[in-house]
Structure 1
Amino acid sequence: MTAILPATRASDAGEPEWTFCPGCRSMLFHKRWVRNLKVCPECGRHGAVTAPERLDQLLDPGSLVPLDCDVRATDPLGFTDTTPYPARLAEARRVTGLAEAVLGGHGTIEGQPVAVACMDFRFLGGSLSGAAGEILTGVGELALRRRIPLLIVAASGGARMQEGALSLMQMAKTSAMLARLDAAGVLSISLITDPTFGGVAASFATLCDVLVAEPGARLGFAGRRVIEQTIGERLPADFQTAEFLLERGFLDFVAARRELRPELAALLRAGRSSGRDTARRAPVRLRPHTGDPVVRDPALVDGRDPVVAVRGARRITRPTTLDYAALLLDGFRELFGDRVGGDCAAVVGGVGRLHGRPIMLIGHQKGHDPAELTRRNFGMPNPAGYRKAARLMRLAQKLGIPVVTLVDTPGAYPGRHAEEQGQAVAIADNLKLMAALRVPIVTVVTGEGGSGGALALALANRVLMWEDAVYSVISPEGCAAILWNDPAASKQAAAALKLQARDLLELGIVDGVIPEPPGGVDGDPLLSAERLGAVLTDCLDELCGHSGDRLSTDRQARFARFGAGSVSVPSDIEEAS
């Protein structure tokens, strides 16, 4: 994304009167362009902004407190190319008015405190020097001391060549700083702007918890020209752009410049751990037969024809995870990508606030029409979906916020590419991760709980289900085909599998059943969301008081009880252990 260039200058003000957009080749009234945050109103092309301009755009007016630092850039190598390095530094300072390529400090975004390090590409291409690394690390240490989130605005061509291997060491230095924030549970956010390449892209710019990018921003290790010259291959037009990377799972989302302030503020609010706001709890209208929003006695759960139950659980009119997120959560922000190379639309997740309490919501996503069902792969995740879920669960653990998972899937996607990408390993990794996670996990089976593809999001402290949902080791059709050798025997298989809520409550697979409104959850989605919110809040009120050790131990004990009996361990093995 090239910069939008000034055209005709106003002779008296020293500023351009008109600006030329190389994207759509429009001549823009300069003041209008500036009012639009230097985004072309015709084609949406995002022009370059300076670090001071960026901070003015993002932070609350008057809230910036600059980092107190004494930047003394040196010439450690005595480097000279066509110009001595000290002369280049002096010219960069004269042109930009900055001491280095990074401007640091702390302030607020919509009242939310944040430490911020903002890079400026005008200063020697935003290159990473020893002094720039020191400022970035200093801002990170400020975030650590104050226990406030860190925001890094990246814009760089990479490490500064004039400082040789000392510049390379800044990649390690800043990465170690982010590792300290991880250990302390401090949220970090990276805003990728155009361009971000080289050592910056391969360190702090892509190591933050949440990666946001402006439209069209380019991000990569090697530049397009280097790649094309090296491999002799013509790259696609959108190669390394934000949209290209989002589709491949490397970014959480792309936001236009005018949307950045509210988007960042929502992330900061959602990532701030605090108690719930009981005053905001929605009223819950319960069925007359119980005063508890959860039924725990199997005798009080209605039974029905198993085939009818399966069909009901599969109704595409039932609310999806994103429906519940919209109805239940304040400030929900969906996050994308597994950071390995993919995203899966069959698994969705993000942060939001449930009755004032920040949570990480993760769930399967089907759809309400054929087009969405196809796009979402009918709710059947591939490995990227499970890896995305794992990434979000690790982020929840870092921030100390509970995880809520909503299960509604026929099962993991049984396809060639899923197998080639490690479907079994991705599911197994999630099970191991959830067993040890040190934050509360609550799972609700909202529709169809199919096989290991469902369990990969359901190893929880509390497992609940809607009364019309089902949960099984395999679909009735699959079971009939394998054991009866006759797909038409699915009715017998459905009955034999004991997959209804009453059966599963009796077996102890689920801890409780949530009554559905008359006509089902899709008959009254708002009431269903209110009831689900009340149930989740009650569970989290109970669990959030426990230590991480107890949460993981109790979770493992819950699943350890499922079996045919006990196994005696020989005494010599006990002693050895």
Structure 2
Amino acid sequence: MTDRLTARDAIARVASGFTELPVPEGMSAPDGPIAWQGYDEQRARAARRTGEQESVVCGTGLVGATEAVLISFEFGFLGGSLGERTGDRLEAAYTHARERRLAVVSLIATGGSRMQEGMRALAQLQRVARQSALTRAAGLPQVAVARDPTTGGGWATLGAGADVILALPGAQIGFAGSRVRPPEADPHAYTAEAQWAAGQVDAVVRPEELPGTLARWLRLLTGGSPTPLPAASDAAGRPPAADHAAESSRSLQPAPPPRALGRAGLPATGWDAVLQARSPRRPRAAACLDAYFETRESISGDRCGGVDRGMLCGFGLYEGRTIAYAAQCGTPTLPAGYRTAARLIRLADRLSVPVLTLIDTPGAANDADAERAGAGAAIADLFGAVATARVPVTTLLIGEGGSGGALALAAPHNTWVTPDSYFSVIAPEQAAAILKRGPEATRTTADQLRLRPQDLVDLGIARGIVPAPPPEEESSP
């Protein structure tokens, strides 16, 4: 079980210079909107116990060096539940974030909607969802920290609807709280660790590491927009972000391709290219990312219950600017991996952050489990995310490029290759089998496929070959 801080202590843990926002004025009928007997006294007791007048505290503060709007739940006030006055405060906080062009950080600890206000309380979820959507359309990041507990509508809006979700160890997280879930349900399924394993949260972060982690995330997520978007809204309250975001995105410089880390030269034959790309000594995605970025943070999971540890996605700092990345690790890519990459690219697009993709896979996973998990739909979705991205996408092929399962991650007209890589419409062994050739014909088939790095440049598939580092850098760190 995590430590249960007050709302203000939770803010003090991660931010400095906190200034509370003005509290919106609101009228409350005696005992609330549905005249729940004794509700006024319940609120008064909660106020005396906590020193707060509502279940959320909202304001601005510095998280590291980044100013943000902070929303912190006071669980001691009626279980951190959401009522109409809670909705007033949340709407004011989101509006302030859009007016000031600030990220939103939610420190959540809630049991859900306030039953003493009936459906008027539940309707606040629609209100919060709209504010979150407007903030998303304005190109502003939203980061959630799931404290203990994070359940009900608070999880289904501020929590699960955030761009990046961090969780404290042992926190109870789930739509169903402990008192309403089926008695036979496995309680572990509702923990931070289980939600991370299922791809529903991006990281489980220890309390002492949370301030630094949040500071790095906000620096990365707010470091990609070169042109501030206007805060004006139309008559319906919608910020005119789309056109301005598109204009801003077009002005972005694409991420330069990383340098090759391997020592291999250009292959003489197609089969040589395949062997070099499949070599266990060839550098993999993690090494490339570590060499490229000063610092990076990862997102995890497809938000549909799946995780592919063979697809690394996140944001990193390169020469002082933020670049998003999606990188295959040399394994067959699972449907969850494609969905996570698509999620990453769409988030980068909203935040005006250029994207780098690294291709290295023998192909998409094609077993029965992958088919049941929607392999075709997941690949199609990633193709669509790359094709419609307004931000520039740069691709480097660092190893195997196996068919459409690799091409889905490739940037049209901005794909580069390393000397120890290949890209093919199909693997040479499979091509020979389809053509009813014996295994001895695999090498010849590899040559016919024209899959070498230099072939890819000649065919117009790749813009160029990224050279290996010069010999004098071989011993450099």
TM-score (norm 1): 0.73
Amino acid at match of 1:314: R
Q: 1:199 aligns with which of 137, 153, 174?
A: 153
- Cα offsets for 1:446-485 (capped at 9, x unmatched): 1111101101100344110012211111111111122134
Letter of the 1:317 counterpart: R
The aligned runs of 1:362-377 (5 Å cut-off) are: 362-366=326-330
Offset of residue 187 of structure 1: 0.5
Cα offset for 1:274? 5.3
CA distance in 2, matches of 1:113, 1:332: 20
Which residue of structure 1 lines up, in the alignment, with residue 247 of structure 2? none
Q: Paired residue for 2:319?
A: 355
Question: CA separation in 2, counterparts of 1:205 and 1:133?
Answer: 15
| Closer, same or farther: CA 259–71 of 1 in aligned 2, 3 Å | farther
Task: Write the mapping of 1:420-435 to structure 2, written as runs, cut at 5 A.
Answer: 420-435=372-387
Q: Which of 189, 203, 211 does residue 261 from structure 1 map onto?
A: 211
Give the CA RMSD over aligned residues: 2.2
One-letter identity of the residue aligned with 2:326: I
In structure 1, how many angstroms separate the alpha carbons of the residues matched to 2:34 and 2:343?
Answer: 44
Cα offsets for 1:520-561 (capped at 9, x unmatched): 9xx94968xxxxxxxxxxxxxxxxxxxxxxxxxxxxxxxxxx
> 2-side partners of 1:461 and 1:524: how far apart?
31
2:351 and 2:396 map into 1 onto residues whose CA distance is 22
How do residues 52-451 of structure 1 correspond to structure 2 at under 5 angstroms? 52-60=8-16, 63-72=17-26, 74=28, 75-81=31-37, 84-229=38-183, 234-272=184-222, 273=224, 302-366=266-330, 379-451=331-403
The one-letter amino acid of 2:397's match is V
Q: Once the 2 structures are TM-superposed, how far is the Cα of residue 99 of structure 1 from its aligned partner?
A: 1.2
Amino acid at match of 2:220: A
Partners of 2:356 and 2:447 in 1: CA distance: 30
Q: Which amino acid aligns with 1:436?
A: T
User: Could you tell me which of 414, 418, 433 is aligned with 1:462?
Assistant: 414
Could you list the per-position Cα deviations for residues 328-371 of structure 1 after superposition, in whole angstroms to 9, with x for gaps in the alignment?
212300110101111111111101111112111111013xxxxx
Q: Could you tell me how far apart the structure 2 residues matched to 1:417 and 1:507 are?
A: 35
The unaligned stretches of length 5 or more in structure 2 are 227-254
In 1, Cα distance between equivalents of 2:369 and 2:431:
24
State the SS of the aligned residue for 1:384: helix
Alignment equivalent of 1:507, drawn from 446, 455, 459: 459
CA deviations over 1:111-131 (Å, ceiling 9, x no partner): 111100000110000000111
Q: Is the 8 A contact 2:83 2:113 kept in 1?
A: yes
Q: Which residue of 2 aligns with 1:487?
A: 439
Secondary structure of the residue aligned to 1:227 is coil
Distance 1:518 1:267 in 2: 34
In the alignment, the residues of structure 1 paired with residue 377 and residue 474 of structure 2 have an alpha-carbon distance, to the nearest angstrom, of: 39
Paired residues of 1:127 and 1:160 also in contact (CA < 8 A): yes
Q: Deviations over 1:252-276 (max 9, x none)?
A: 111001111111111111112256x
Helix, strand or coil at the partner of 1:103: strand
TM alignment of 1:8-19, pairs within 5 A: none
- Contact persistence 2:24–2:88 (CA under 8 A): no
Could you tell me how far apart the structure 2 residues matched to 1:207 and 1:246 are? 15
Which blocks of at least 5 consecutive residues in structure 1 are unaligned? 2-45, 276-280, 287-300, 367-378, 528-577
Aligned residues: 441
2:33 aligned partner, one-letter code:
L
Q: Distance in 1 between matches of 2:370 and 2:476?
A: 36
SS in 2 for 1:207: coil
Query: Structure 2: how far apart are the matches of 1:237 and 1:165?
Result: 28
Percent identity, aligned pairs only, is 36
Taking structure 1 as reference, are residues 311 and 524 closer, same or farther at Cα in structure 2, changes over 3 Å only?
farther
CA contact (8 A) 2:64 2:211 kept: yes
Q: Equivalents in 2 of 1:123, 1:161: separation in Å?
A: 14
Q: Distance in 2 between matches of 1:526 and 1:480?
A: 42
Q: Is the 8 A contact 2:413 2:461 kept in 1?
A: no
Q: Could you say what secondary structure the match of 1:474 adopts?
A: coil
Confirm or deny: 8 A CA contact 2:24 2:92 kept in the other structure.
Answer: no
Q: TM-score, normalised by structure 2?
A: 0.88
SS of equivalent to 2:69: strand
Q: What is the alpha-carbon distance in structure 2 between the residues aligned to residue 443 and residue 512 of structure 1? A: 11
Cα distance change, pair 168–467 in 1 and its aligned pair in 2 (3 A): same
CA contact under 8 A between 1:250 and 1:338: conserved in structure 2? yes
How big is the shift at 1:320?
Answer: 2.0
Deviation at residue 430 of structure 1 after TM alignment: 1.2
Structure ranking higher on relative contact order (CA contacts 8 Å, 6+ apart)? 2
What secondary structure does 1:193 align onto? strand
Greater Rg over alpha carbons, structure: 1
Q: Name the SS of the counterpart of 2:181 in structure 1.
A: helix
